[in-house]
């Protein structure tokens, strides 16, 4: 691959409206942050600018590690993505299977007005996507084996929009599979029952709901600008401040606010935590768990942590030692 | 030794490219007479009228298959069909294609094109496992003719057979495709078989290799000027709807020998015209034929060198691969039609008409799938899977399909198959064809909507997360 092509590929997300760090969304993010700081927080414009572009945050060791991970992970993605089962493969297999179920009638709702079908599909795929992200995210925190991987993301001590890329490649793999299953299922089911009118309402080629999510400041979730919503709205949509709570090191904030766009999942499953005014949150993990900027540690520790979890499970199942207390440290999950 | 060899191959490749561009858009022929010692007055060595006669026999046979009245005239119709299939002492009238308003055809009898030709002598004689009864290809065709003659207008509503379509599509493979790829473009390219330094037969004005190559081109069925026509025009010529495009010499009548587009070429153009519009089967095959013919002409009546024959085999490979793909594309397309027809049958509107269309499209699907299995390549497991998925007959609304045929030619309907299950089979047939032949045009793709949606949603592999 030509070096320029390679570089273009690495930074392709900045020009892709399907991605959160699309430059248009980033510009809007800055605008929203400035308006919030000046209008709500009554800060001077100059101070607001200084806050948004805080060098101590944007160039902290943790943030610099984010930038490196962003580039390194692109390389991993190039190798991993061809191996992933695509949503099309899953959709096709499911589409075949649906034909085989006698009592299901293909195209039974195909008389529904096209606008309704498209709206229904657009909303459903967004909701299913969001819910499965919530579920997987919750499991990433609750299951020690997955937490070992997800720690990479939580080891960030400062949050910038690029922190969204601070994930272990194995996590990328899991989320890729989740997306394929979730979207594949919705696609096949809709096409089977609603026929070929199924389509997506898009803006700039993006699901209109994702577009709204992004233009309303999705990038602020990973930032130090803690925009809060009214409490009633924080039951429905996750505010940037709520996601920052999710990253907080404080004990009472552990295992809260797993949601991406919707807060209802957290509300429904008891993990909702409303943002609080004027609390100074501290992000990151204790050194015993993960390092915030040493790349080798970030990429390799998950493997040794996973090995430890497996070993411990193995010992518990096959060599019970009821008298002697285990000396293994239980990893803190959150 | 490696270097000089490389240089030679590079030179050949360059020559092929240069040659290719020089000829692009040029018709197939005329090519000069190169036979050493020829003293006649011919100046054009191109000749493939025998193949055109066979295409006309085939088109007429297809029409004749619809002449049955349900049994009373069975013997008569069978005799008529056999005349076209086996050839006849008498000069046979062309039943199709015939002149129609705005599209006058020059020839009206087969002998005006070429005398003494038949289909059966050039028909695939290997085993045809796609059809019940463990028969050879030609025996299957004879059985189909008999059943067609006894049917009402070529249609069997109980078993879902459209005989005209079955016979016709099978013949496109078992005669034209088989003869071209398994004979003329195969053993006839050997050095000692029909050599280029001798006339094809005594007194002929073309050499052995020239005529063998022409015969393969004749079976393809393109007009000599097809390459200068768009896929839509080639298609319209075959449908007798575009006189201007067909009439290359501007004399106002269509000479079937050079100006008409027959079955195999029609389906190549059809695949290019429909579906994803990302294929150029017609141009690719045509150019390989024309460039190969130019190469033979350039030998000027001398025996072909090994390099020249290697190049010719290269062209033959291009023709064979792409021709096979056009048959796979057609099979794919009709699997999609059958899938849609089942929706219509299930909707319950105008059931008789829906069933008639279903049988027609199934006949095309089955016929093309048999055509695919009449070539040079043994398709192996792909053929077994395809034959099982398509079956020996379409699934009928009563949930049964043909499972066998007895010695008297009576179908046994012993296989259970619901219309729903059969729809899934059609999806699997399409997938099998994509996986086996890598086809691109994919008209009537029954899962195209899924692919389009997937495209719209974008890929999921990403390194980002909350």
Q: Which two tokens stand for residue A252?
A: 């009472």
Confidence of residue B187 (pLDDT cuts 50, 70, 90): very high
B438 part of a folded domain: yes
Indicate if the pLDDT at residue B65 is higher than 50.
Answer: yes
Q: Over range A17-22, report the average pLDDT.
A: 90
Q: Does A243 touch chain B (CB under 8 A)?
A: yes
Q: Does A109 touch chain B (CB under 8 A)?
A: no
B201 part of a folded domain: yes
Indicate if the pLDDT at residue B80 is higher than 90.
Answer: yes
The shortest CB-CB distance from B461 to any of A84, A199, A202 is to A84
Q: Do B462 and A137 touch (CB under 8 A)?
A: no
Confidence of residue B25 (pLDDT cuts 50, 70, 90): confident
The pLDDT value given to residue B1: 40
Indicate if the pLDDT at residue B215 is higher than 70.
Answer: yes
Q: How many CB pairs under 8 A join A and B?
A: 112
CB–CB of A97/A184 below 8 Å? no
Find the domain containing B400 and state its range.
Answer: 66-87+117-453
Respond yes or no on whether the N-terminal peptide bond of residue B30 is cis (omega within 30° of 0): yes
Q: Over range A195-201, report the average pLDDT.
A: 89
Contacts with B15 (C-beta within 8 Å, 6 or more apart), sequence order: none
Indicate if the pLDDT at residue A326 is higher than 70.
Answer: no
The pLDDT value given to residue B348: 84
Q: Over range B364-376, report the average pLDDT.
A: 96
Instruction: Supply the DSSP string of B232-289, one letter for each residue.
Output: HHHHHHHTT--HHHH-TT-SSSB-TTTS---HHHHHHHHHHHSTTS---HHHHHHHHH
B94 part of a folded domain: no
The pLDDT value given to residue B19: 47
Smallest CA–CA separation between A179 and chain B, in Å?
6
- Tell me how far CA of residue B94 lies from CA of B53, B162, B242, B278, in angstroms: 10, 22, 20, 36
pLDDT digits (tens, 9 = 90+) for B190-207: 999 999 999 999 999 999
Q: Do A99 and B423 touch (CB under 8 A)?
A: yes
At residue B431's C-alpha, the angle toward residues B426 and B435, to 5°, is: 150
Mean pLDDT of chain B: 92
Contacts for B7-16 with beta carbons within 8 Å, 24 or more apart? B8/B307, B12/B307, B12/B311, B16/B291, B16/B311
Q: Over range B112-120, report the average pLDDT.
A: 96
Q: Does A271 touch chain B (CB under 8 A)?
A: no
A296 part of a folded domain: no
Could you tell me what percent of chain B has a pLDDT over 70?
94
At residue A100's C-alpha, the angle toward residues A95 and A106, to 5°, is: 60
Find the domain containing A137 and state its range.
Answer: 3-226
pLDDT digits (tens, 9 = 90+) for B344-363: 998 888 889 999 999 999 99
CB–CB of A230/A219 below 8 Å? no
Indicate if the pLDDT at residue A122 is higher than 80.
Answer: yes
pLDDT digits (tens, 9 = 90+) for B127-165: 999 999 999 999 999 999 999 999 999 999 999 999 999
The shortest CB-CB distance from A107 to any of B343, B427, B454 is to B343
The pLDDT value given to residue B464: 67
Q: Does A162 touch chain B (CB under 8 A)?
A: no
The shortest CB-CB distance from B427 to any of A96, A164, A222 is to A96
Mean pLDDT of chain A: 90
Q: Do B462 and A107 touch (CB under 8 A)?
A: no
Q: Do B449 and A172 touch (CB under 8 A)?
A: no
> Count of alpha carbons within 13 Å of B325, Cβ hemisphere only?
25
Instruction: Count the domains in chain B.
Output: 1
The pLDDT value given to residue A329: 46
A267 part of a folded domain: no
Q: Over range B291-317, report the average pLDDT.
A: 96
What CA dihedral angle connects A124, A127, A128 and A132, to 10 degrees? 180
B103 part of a folded domain: no
Q: Over range B312-340, report the average pLDDT.
A: 97
Backbone angles phi, psi at B216, to 5 degrees: -60, -45
Backbone angles phi, psi at B93, to 5 degrees: -70, 145
A156 part of a folded domain: yes
SS3 A264: helix
Global ipTM:
0.79
Indicate if the pLDDT at residue B94 is higher than 50.
Answer: yes
B29 part of a folded domain: no
At residue A94's C-alpha, the angle toward residues A93 and A100, to 5°, is: 100
Confidence of residue B458 (pLDDT cuts 50, 70, 90): confident
At residue B413's C-alpha, the angle toward residues B409 and B414, to 5°, is: 125
A329 part of a folded domain: no
Going by their DSSP bridges, the two strands A206-207 and B400-401 should be labelled as: unpaired
Which position has the token pair 């008209």?
B443
Q: Over range B418-443, report the average pLDDT.
A: 93
CB–CB of B137/B123 below 8 Å? yes
Smallest CA–CA separation between B276 and chain A, in Å?
17
A222 part of a folded domain: yes
Which position has the token pair 């398509």?
B390
Smallest CA–CA separation between A46 and chain B, in Å?
30
pLDDT digits (tens, 9 = 90+) for B224-249: 999 999 999 999 999 999 999 999 99
pLDDT digits (tens, 9 = 90+) for A140-177: 999 999 999 999 999 999 999 999 999 999 998 999 89
pLDDT digits (tens, 9 = 90+) for B379-398: 999 999 999 999 999 999 99
A158 part of a folded domain: yes
pLDDT digits (tens, 9 = 90+) for B249-264: 999 999 999 999 999 9
Burial of A187 (0-12, 13-18, 19+ CB in 10 A): buried
Instruction: Count the domains in chain A.
Output: 1
Could you tell me what percent of chain B has a pLDDT over 90?
85
**CA distance linking residue B41 with residue B33, whole number of Å:** 10
**CA distance linking residue B238 with residue B234, whole number of Å:** 6
Q: Do B464 and A87 touch (CB under 8 A)?
A: no
A246: chain B residues, CB-CB within 8 Å: 466
The pLDDT value given to residue B78: 97
**CA distance linking residue A229 with residue A274, whole number of Å:** 9
Ranges A93-97, A249-253, B252-256, B320-324: which has the least confidence? A93-97
The pLDDT value given to residue B409: 82
The shortest CB-CB distance from A81 to any of B420, B424, B461 is to B461
Q: C-alpha B316: how far from its chain's center?
A: 16
Could you tell me what percent of chain A has a pLDDT over 70?
95
DSSP classification of residue B152: B
Indicate if the pLDDT at residue B461 is higher than 90.
Answer: no
The pLDDT value given to residue A334: 56
Indicate if the pLDDT at residue B420 is higher than 90.
Answer: no
Q: Does A68 touch chain B (CB under 8 A)?
A: no
């Amino acid at each position: 691959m030509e070096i320029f092509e390679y570089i273009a590929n690495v930074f392709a997300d900045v020009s892709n409206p399907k991605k959160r760090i699309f430059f248009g969304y980033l510009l809007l993010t800055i605008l929203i942050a400035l308006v919030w700081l000046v209008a709500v927080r009554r800060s001077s414009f100059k101070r607001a600018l200084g806050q948004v572009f805080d060098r101590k945050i944007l160039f902290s060791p943790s943030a610099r590690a984010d930038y490196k991970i962003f580039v390194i992970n692109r390389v991993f993605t190039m190798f991993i993505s061809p191996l992933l089962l695509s949503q099309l493969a899953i959709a096709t297999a499911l589409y075949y299977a649906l034909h085989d179920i006698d009592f299901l009638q293909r195209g039974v709702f195909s008389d529904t007005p096209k606008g309704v079908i498209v709206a229904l599909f657009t909303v459903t795929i967004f909701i299913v996507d969001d819910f499965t992200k919530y579920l997987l995210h919750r499991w990433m925190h609750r299951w020690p084996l997955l937490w070992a991987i997800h720690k990479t993301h939580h080891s960030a001590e400062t949050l910038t929009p690029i922190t969204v890329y601070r994930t272990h490649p194995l996590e990328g793999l899991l989320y890729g599979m989740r997306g394929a299953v979730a979207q594949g299922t919705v696609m096949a089911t809709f096409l089977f029952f609603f026929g070929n009118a199924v389509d997506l309402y898009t803006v700039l080629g993006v699901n209109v709901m994702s577009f709204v999510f992004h233009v309303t400041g999705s990038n602020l979730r990973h930032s130090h600008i803690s925009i809060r919503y009214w409490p009633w709205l924080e039951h429905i949509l996750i505010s940037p401040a709520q996601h920052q709570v999710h990253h907080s090191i404080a004990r009472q904030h552990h295992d809260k606010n797993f949601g991406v766009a919707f807060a209802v999942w957290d509300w429904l499953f008891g993990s909702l935590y409303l943002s609080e005014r004027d609390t100074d949150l501290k992000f990151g993990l204790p050194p015993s768990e993960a390092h915030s900027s040493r790349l080798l540690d970030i990429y390799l520790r998950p493997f040794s942590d996973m090995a430890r979890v497996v070993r411990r499970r193995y010992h518990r199942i096959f060599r019970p030692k009821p008298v002697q207390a285990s000396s293994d440290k239980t990893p803190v999950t959150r | 030794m490696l270097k000089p060899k490389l240089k030679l191959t590079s030179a050949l490749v360059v020559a092929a490219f240069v040659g290719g561009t020089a000829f692009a858009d040029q018709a197939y022929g005329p090519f000069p007479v190169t036979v050493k010692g020829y003293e006649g007055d011919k100046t054009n060595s191109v000749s493939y009228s025998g193949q055109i006669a066979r295409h006309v026999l085939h088109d007429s046979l297809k029409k004749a298959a619809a002449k049955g009245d349900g049994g009373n005239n069975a013997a008569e119709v069978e005799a008529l069909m056999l005349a076209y299939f086996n050839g006849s002492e008498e000069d046979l009238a062309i039943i199709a294609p015939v002149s129609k308003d705005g599209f006058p055809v020059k020839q009206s009898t087969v002998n005006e094109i070429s005398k003494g030709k038949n289909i059966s002598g050039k028909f695939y004689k290997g085993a045809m496992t796609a059809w019940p009864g463990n028969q050879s290809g030609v025996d299957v065709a004879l059985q189909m003719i008999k059943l067609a003659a006894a049917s009402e207008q070529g249609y069997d509503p109980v078993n879902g057979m459209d005989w005209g379509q079955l016979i016709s599509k099978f013949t496109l493979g078992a005669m034209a495709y088989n003869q071209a790829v398994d004979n003329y473009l195969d053993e006839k390219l050997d050095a000692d078989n029909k050599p280029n330094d001798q006339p094809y037969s005594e007194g002929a004005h073309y050499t052995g290799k020239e005529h063998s190559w022409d015969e393969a081109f004749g079976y393809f069925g393109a007009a000599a000027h097809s390459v200068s026509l768009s896929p839509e025009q080639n298609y319209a010529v075959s449908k007798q709807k575009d006189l201007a495009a067909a009439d290359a010499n501007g004399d106002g009548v269509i000479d079937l020998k050079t100006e008409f587009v027959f079955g195999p070429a029609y389906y190549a153009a059809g695949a290019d015209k429909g579906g994803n519009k990302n294929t150029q089967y017609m141009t690719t095959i045509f150019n390989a034929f024309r460039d190969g013919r130019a190469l033979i002409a350039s030998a000027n009546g001398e025996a072909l060198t090994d390099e020249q024959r290697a190049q010719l085999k290269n062209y033959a490979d291009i023709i064979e691969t792409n021709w096979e793909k056009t048959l796979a594309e057609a099979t794919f397309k009709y699997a999609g039609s059958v899938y849609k027809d089942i929706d219509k049958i299930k909707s319950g509107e105008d059931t008789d008409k829906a069933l008639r269309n279903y049988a027609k499209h199934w006949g095309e699907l089955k016929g093309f799938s048999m055509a695919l299995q009449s070539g040079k390549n043994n398709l192996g497991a792909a053929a077994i899977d395809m034959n099982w998925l398509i079956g020996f007959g379409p699934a009928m609304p009563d949930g049964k399909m043909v499972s066998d045929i007895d010695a008297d030619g009576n179908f046994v309907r012993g296989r259970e198959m619901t219309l729903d299950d059969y729809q899934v089979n059609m999806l699997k047939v399409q997938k099998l064809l994509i996986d086996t032949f890598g086809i691109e045009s994919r008209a009537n793709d029954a899962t195209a909507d899924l692919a389009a949606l997937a495209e719209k949603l974008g890929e999921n592999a990403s390194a980002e997360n909350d």
